[in-house]
Every structure is written in C-alpha cells, then in structure tokens.
Amino acid sequence: MKTTIRVKLSVLLMLLIWVNTLHGQTTIYLKPARVFDGEKIYENYGVLVKDNKIERVGAQADIEKSLGKDTKTIVYKNGTLLPGLIEGHTHLFLHPYNETPWDDQVLKEARSYRTARAVTHAERTLKAGFTTARDLGTEGAEFDDVGLKRAINEGIIPGPRLLIATKALVATGSYAPKGFSSEIDVPQGAEEADGHDDLIKKVRNQIGKGADLIKIYADYRWGLRGEAAPTFSLDEIKLIVETAKSAGRPTVAHASTAEGMRRAIMGGVETIEHGDNGTPEIWKLMVEKNVYLCPTLAAGDAIMQYRGWAKGSGPDPDRIQKKKEAFKEILASGVKICMGGDVGVFAHGDNAREIEMLVEYGMKPIDALKAATSTNADAFHLEKQVGRIKTGLLADILVVKGNPTENIKAIRDIRLVMKDGKTIVEK
C-alpha cells in the first residue's frame, strides 16, 4: 500500500513539474511586413519564437491557423525581420583613434580602465543589433576578453555572444608600439612568438586560456622603409594552423600585402583581414582554397577622415580610390566576403557603418546583409546556431523599420533586438 502511494505521489509530482515547465515557456509571434532569412526576402512571413529558439518560420496565414491562445503577437507594420547581425571584426578593448591614439591606449590606459570601456562597448554593439561578434585581439589587454565573454555568457553584463582571439600572435620585432630606445622592452599589442617550439607553446597557451580562434599577423609595417612586409614564414603559419586545428580552432590572418596573404592562404588560414593590396592571382587563390575576406572598409575610411579627409567634398584620397577599385575586382572574382569593420578604430555601436560601406563600394544591399548574417555564420562555424531565420536556431532576431534590401540605411532604424529569445531593445 505504502509503495503504491509513493508511486502515485511520484507520478503526481512529475506531472506538476511538467505542467509548471510548460507554463513557464514563452511563445512570441513576430509579424513583420517581410522576413530576410539570411539569404532571401519573403513578404508577409512571420516567425514564431518559443523560449530561446525559433519555433517556426512561414507565411503568416499558415502560422496564424495554429497559434496558441497564450501566444504573444507583436506586429511590425513596414518592418523587416532579420537574423541578429554578426560583427566579423571588432576590438572591444579599443576605442576610436581620434579620441586616443592606439599607442597611448596600449601603453597608458590601465587594463581595468580598458575593461570598463569594453563592458560599455559590448552593450552598444548588442543594442545596435549585433548579437554575435568576433573579437580579434585585446591589443595589449592580455586575456581580459576571456572574463568579458564569461560575464556576458552568465548574464552579468549585456553583450553579444563572443568568439575571442585573446592576445593574437606576432613575429618578434614586427608589431607595435615602436619608436622607443632599443634598451627598453616596450609592451606589445599582441604576443610575440617564433620558431617551432615557441609557436606551438604559445598557440596552445592561448587556447588553454580560452581562445576560440588564433589570429596571426601575416605581415605588418616593419619593412626597411616602414612599409608592410611579411612576418611569419609559410612553414611557421602551417605549424600555427596545424596546432590550432588539432584543438578544433581556426586560424585567421591580418594581411595586407600580396605575399603575406599568399603565405597565409597557403598556410591554411580561414579568413584574411583587410587584404588591401591583394592581386587577381590572390583573389583566385582565395576562391580555390575557400578562404573568406573581411575587407574592413570602415576602418580605412575612418582613419583617412582622422587624417583630415573631408568625406563627400573633393576627390577621394589615393588609398580610398585603390580600395574601391580593389573591391570591385574582389566582387567580380567570387571571393566570399565577410562583414567586419575593425570596430574600435571607429565607435562601437556604429557597426552598421561597414554594412553601408559594402554597398557604397559596390555590393548589392541584400548581399551586404548576407555578409553580416549567413556568410559570417558559415565562415565562423556558427551555421547551426545563428545567422539565419530557421527553425531550431537560436532566437537572435533584429527587426528594423523599412526595407534594408532596398535602402541599406534602414538597418539602423531598429525596432527590436532579441538575443537568445530575450528582448534587448523594443520600440
């Protein structure tokens, strides 16, 4: 008898837990004028969100046939629903160089101060509709991005989900700050490493400390006349890539010279950052090796303005003209384009500047939006989590007023930001 009562009580308790769980689930029906799913635009589509996942995507008429009575419906007239945007190249521990030069940030700003700034930068990034971001180096702030990422993941502070590179790797003597007495060991903006044993050890250490990827500087401004020149040898890059890959981490490369890019591509990196002086042969090689390019158009634009260029009045500087010409070549070549602005050179929260500039330099608006969503998701191995409006993926969602596939500036007119099913911004 007692055993039977215990069994019945156990079953009753399980039912109560199940009912309470169901009661705690939240279902939201988002009804915009259109949905951009990361690849195509669909008129009169809706999205059903349950807890932190996308439950259903389809024609509004079909979804509305089976809506539960407790479903919350939110209508966005003339609104476009998109996947949460993915920032492909940011530095949360930097702030605009016209506020404080890069050298002074690395040498004069305490890491505690830089971390405090990074917290606000993360929040601004998220509220701008970027629910995921790839941070490509703390620039002298050691492994402080590991703690920042943890604080975001644990809900202590708001911010995008992060992919972090921690310290990044540079060849000894190649990086910065520079210009000091040779008798002084000056702190560097990345970790110096050379040769077989040292490279393996430092790659493994960065991974062990929390790096999601390894970033290298395949070239930098250390040529005889201060010009950019290759740093790591091809064999060194192959070793870095192999060591990282054995732990499931990709390697990405800062590269702006043709030779630096060639070595990085042949060495096995997955994305090239900047690529300013690439050639048709390099673009062809990138296509063959399936290497993505993150052109960081907005960073170059910002730097030239800091140097006195009055954008919109008079001719473009030579550097900008060359970048525009090169970008047309890149588009024609079929190289896959990531969206990443090198944010930190310019203000965090202004991340959409890069999307706008992709269009300004010749991309179709819908292709720029793909770059910031599905292409970045694919490039960063996140396609099973984010980057598309698709059943089963995380509910990272952006709603803007207007149609950014027709007018890219509509991407800034935010009405909703949702990350992991939680509303961050609602207007």
Rg (CA), the chain: 24
Share in percent of the chain as helix, strand, coil (round to 5): 40, 25, 40
The predicted pLDDT at position 296 comes to: 98
Q: Are 208 and 245 in contact (CB under 8 A)?
A: no
Residue-wise pLDDT tens digits, 282-308: 999 999 999 999 999 999 999 999 999
The predicted pLDDT at position 4 comes to: 54
Residue-wise pLDDT tens digits, 92-141: 999 999 999 999 999 999 999 999 999 999 999 999 999 999 999 999 99
How much is the mean pLDDT over the chain? Answer: 95
Going by C-alpha positions, the residue among 343, 399, 423 that lies closest to residue 84 is 399
Give the Cα-Cα-Cα angle 318, 323, 260 (nearest 5 degrees). Answer: 110
Cβ neighbours around 294 below 10 Å, total: 26
Q: What is the pLDDT averaged over residues 191-200? A: 98
What percentage of the chain has pLDDT greater than the value 90? Answer: 94
Q: What is the pLDDT averaged over residues 322-350? A: 98
DSSP state of 176: S
For residue 215, what are the β-bridge partners? 252
Sign of CA dihedral 358, 360, 362, 366: positive
- Encode 162-179: b = buried (16+ Cβ within 10 Å), e = exposed: bbbbbbbbbbeebbbbee
The predicted pLDDT at position 6 comes to: 53
Residue 314 pLDDT class (50, 70, 90 cuts):
confident
Going by C-alpha positions, the residue among 46, 63, 51 that lies closest to residue 23 is 51
